[in-house]
Amino acid sequence: MFSLACLVPLAAARAEDRVINLFDGKSLAGWTTAAGKPVTKGWAAQDGALVRTGGGGSIFTADHYADFDLSFQWKIARRGNSGVKYRVAHYEKGVYGHPGWLGCEYQIYDDDARRPGPKFSSGAIYELFAPSADKKLRPVGEFNDARIIVRGSKIEHWLNGAKIVDVDTTSDQWKKSVAASKFGDIDGFFQNRTGRIELQDHGSRVWFRSLVLRRLD
């Protein structure tokens, strides 16, 4: 007779398969250049963090992800600028007609030193949606806790335990924001349902750790 108890280990294994550590704390395993080649410069594993140490370009997950809940910790250098992009895809005619890898971006910024506009501040969907005005951002030099939740057409950004962005990419609000941005002339921008995750090289020293992704699809 078949026992339901046999299903318990299988269910547990499947649940574990849905949780992926994107950074093992000691190497760049699982990360590539935009061309899919090993990362040989610009980034390093240091003291349990994935650190942008110099020029080398952004780095990308080797795998593609659709619906997910990504939690991570980040900190930025003084006057720094970086970000985490997701569902990243290649567009032959990207920003201003140039080919490139594009996706929505969880903005990472030194808000205090650089005083960006709301749509360019930490936690924003870069250039498209500002985070909540009452967000709690820790000082430069301290790690912040962040989450990006993407399920179908829904996007959430979280910062230090609070949801700060909540949008739907099928909404009129989304369409208007994209049309008014530098992404407005890009056919199908962010309408793809899967893509890579990118840690941005924007010329600043930035630290990431505890990058854990849970598949939701």
User: Is the CATH code 2.60.120.560 the one for domain 20-215?
Assistant: yes
Confidence (pLDDT) at 79: 95
Instruction: Please tell me the distance from the alpha carbon of residue 25 to that of residue 30, in angstroms, as a whole number.
Output: 12
Distances (CA, A) of 103 to 143, 167, 217: 24, 15, 19
Label residue 116 by pLDDT band (50, 70, 90): confident
Say whether 110 sits in a helix, a strand or coil.
Answer: coil
- List residues bridging with 89 in a β-sheet: 102
194 has a pLDDT exceeding 70: yes
Q: For 21-47, how does the pLDDT look when each residue is reduced to its tens digit (9 = 90+)?
A: 999 999 999 999 999 999 999 999 999
Q: Looking at the whole model, is its pTM more than 0.85?
A: yes
| Assigned token pair, 91 | 């567009």
Average pLDDT rounded to a whole number, residues 67-87 = 97
Confidence (pLDDT) at 57: 96
10 has a pLDDT exceeding 50: no
Say whether 154 sits in a helix, a strand or coil.
Answer: strand
Instruction: Supply angle C-alpha 95, 197, 157, rounded to 5.
Output: 90
Label residue 115 by pLDDT band (50, 70, 90): confident
81 has a pLDDT exceeding 90: yes
Average pLDDT rounded to a whole number, residues 119-134 = 97
Label residue 13 by pLDDT band (50, 70, 90): very low
